Amino acid sequence: MYMRKENGKRESPYKGILKFADEKKPQLSFAVVLSVLSSAFGIVPYIAVAILLQKALASSLTTTWAILLPVIALCGYLLKHTLYAKSTLCSHKVAYEIIKNIRTTIMKKMSKVSMGTIQGKSSGEFKQLVIDDAERLEGPLAHAIPEMTASILVPIFVILYLLVIDWRMALAALVSAILGNLIYYGMMFGRGEVMKEYMMSNANMNATIVEYVNGMEVIKAFNQTASSMGRFQSAVLKVRDITTKWYKHCWPFMCISQAILPSSIAFVLPVGMALISGGTVSLAELIVCILLSMAIVGSLQNFTEFWESFAVISEVQPRIQALLDMEELTEPAQPKHTDKADMQMKDVHFGYGDSEIIHGISFTAKAGSVTALVGPSGSGKSTLAKLIARFWDVDAGAVLVGGIDIREMSLTDLIEKISYVSQDNFLFNMSLRDNIRIGKPEATDKEVEWAAAQAGCDEFISRFPQGYDTNAGDAGARLSGGERQRLAIARAILKNAPIVILDEATAFTDPENEDKLQRSIDKLTKGKTLIVIAHRLSTIMYADQILVLENGQITAQGTHEQLLTHSETYLDMWKAHISAMDWSMNQEVSELC
C-alpha cells in the first residue's frame, strides 16, 4: 500500500514511518552496516570449514592450517553475534524513538483539531492507534530494515560466488528460498480485509473495556453487570474468532514454508552429484556449494518475517497518516491581539455533519457583564459555550472577542483569555496540587494554595493525610461532585482569564454545597466577563442579560424581571424551578420533624 503525497507522488508506508526518525536516521544506517557485517561474518565459519575440507581432500592440510582455520571460524562466529547485538541495540533505540515521536505527534495533533473531530471517534480507536498499533511497529522497525538489508546483500554475494563455480549450483541453492517465500506470500492474500476487520473489532473491544470500567458505578447501581459483561465478552470473542480464523488460514502455509526454506541441501546435493558424474564440478567444489547454501538459509528464512513486517507497517502507517491528516483548527499567519474582554456572536450557524443545530444566533456580552444561557435540554446552550471557547469552528457567522474574530487570533492567545468550567470536571492521575496548577503551570505552591482557598477547596483537601500532594486518582472516589467542581474553579481562579464560561458548573451540587460553590464562583467571576449556563434559575436572577434558547435559536432576551413578563418559556421554567425548590424544602422539613 502507498500513501499519496501532496505533490501527487506516491510514498511508501516505510518512508512515511521513517519521517518520525528525525536525527536518529544515521544511527539506523549504522545499524544496517553492522547487520550486513554480522551476516557476512556469519558465513566465515562455513568458508573456513569448506577450505579445511578442501585441503584435507587434497592431502595438503598442514598443522598451521588445521589450527588457523578453526580459530578463524570461531572469530567469525563471535564477531557475527557481537555485531548483531550492537546492530539490534542501535535499531531498537531508533525504533523506540520513532514510536515516541509517533505518539507525541498524535497527541499534538489531537490538541489542534476540533473537539467535534475527537468526539467523533471512540476512546478505543485512539487507544488502539497510540498504544497498540504504535507498539506493533517496534519489531518491524528494529529488525526488518537492518536485517532485511543484510538478508539481501549477503545471499547475493554468495550466489554470485556460486555462479562462478557453476550456474546450475547457484540456481539449485535458490530453489528452496524461492518456493518457501512464494508459499508464504500466498498466505498473505486476503490479509488486508482480515486485518481491517481485526482492527475494527479490536478498537470496539478497547472502547467496550473503557466503557465498562468508567461506567462501573452505573452498572452496579442499575444491576447491569450481566448486560455490560455480555457486551464485553461479545467484543472479546469477536477478536478471538477473527484471530483464530486467520491463524487457521495461515498455519498450513507457515508449516510448509518453514519446512521448505531450510532444505536447500535437498536441491543442491542431487544437482551437485549429477554435475560431479559429468565431470563439471569437483567434490571439493560441491562441498563448498553445500556449505554456502546452508550458510544463507538463515538470511533467506528471514524473508518470511519481512513479509509480516511490511504488512504491519502497511496497515498501521495509513491509519496514523489518516489521523494526522485530520483538519486542524486554523491558525492565522499574522494573528491579531486584543486586551478587551467583551464577546459577541454575529449570525452564528453551526451543525454536526449535515444537521444544523445553531440557527443564526447573535448577541453581545459587554466586558465585566454576566450573560446567562437558559433553555430546555438540547436547545444548544453547551454548544454555544464551546463555540465561544473555539472547541469547534462556526459554520457561518463569527464569534468575536474584543471586536476580533477568534479565528484571527492565535489559539494560545484565545485560550489565555478564556476559562472554561464544565459540569464534567476531569481530574488527572497526579496530585491535587498539580491538578489545580493546570490553570497556570508556572504557579508556585503558595499561588496554588491561595487559589484553592479562594475556591473553598482547602477545607476538604485538609481531610487527606497528604493534603495537596494526595494523588487525584486515590482521592477521586472520596470527592463529591461539588468538591470536584471547586477544584475546577480553583484552576480557573489560578488562570485568572478575563472571560469565564460556566457550563452548568452547579448542575450536580446538593443544596448544602451549592452555597459554598456559589461563593467560589463569585470569587472566580468578580470583574470578569461571565457566560453562564444554568439549570437553577435562582443562581442567575441578577444576570445583566438572560438568553432563552429553544431549538438552536434565541427566542427571548432580557433581565430576569423582563423575561418573567415577556417570555412564556422562561416563566414556565421559573415556575418549575420554584416548585422544585418548595419540594426540596418540604423534604428537608419532613426529615427534621
Question: Which CATH code fits 343-429+498-592?
Answer: 3.40.50.300
Query: How many C-beta neighbours within 10 Å does residue 423 have?
Result: 19
- pLDDT value of residue 477: 60
The pLDDT tens digits for 410-468 are 988 998 999 988 877 778 888 899 999 999 999 999 999 999 988 888 888 988 888 89
d(CA 391, CA 408): 15
CA distances from 528 to 119, 129, 411, 437 (A): 30, 41, 20, 20
Residues of the chain with CATH 3.40.50.300: 343-429+498-592
The pLDDT tens digits for 375-403 are 888 888 989 999 998 988 999 999 999 99
The pLDDT tens digits for 171-194 are 998 888 888 878 877 777 766 677
Q: For Cα atoms 445, 447, 452, give the angle at the middle one, nearest 5 degrees.
A: 95
Residues of the chain with CATH 1.20.1560.10: 11-324
The pLDDT tens digits for 280-300 are 888 888 888 888 888 777 777
With CA atoms as reference, report the closest residue to 550 among 373, 422, 385.
373
Higher pLDDT, 46 or 207: 46
Q: What residues pair up with 351 in beta bridges, in sequence order?
A: 356
- pLDDT value of residue 248: 82
With CA atoms as reference, report the closest residue to 216 among 240, 232, 200.
232
Range scoring the smallest mean pLDDT among 223-227, 260-264, 295-299, 541-545: 223-227
Average pLDDT over residues 341-350: 95
Between the ranges 83-87, 127-131, 229-233, where is the mean pLDDT highest?
83-87
Is pTM beyond 0.75 here? no
Q: In one letter, which amino acid is 411?
A: L
Average pLDDT over residues 524-547: 86
The pLDDT tens digits for 110-149 are 888 887 777 767 666 777 788 888 888 888 888 877 877 7
Fold of domain 11-324: ABC transporter transmembrane region fold (1.20.1560)
d(CA 23, CA 439): 34
Percent of the chain residues past pLDDT 70, beyond the cut: 87
Q: In one letter, which amino acid is 206?
A: N
- pLDDT value of residue 553: 94
Query: How many C-beta neighbours within 10 Å does residue 164 have?
Result: 10
Cell 453551526 sits on residue: 350
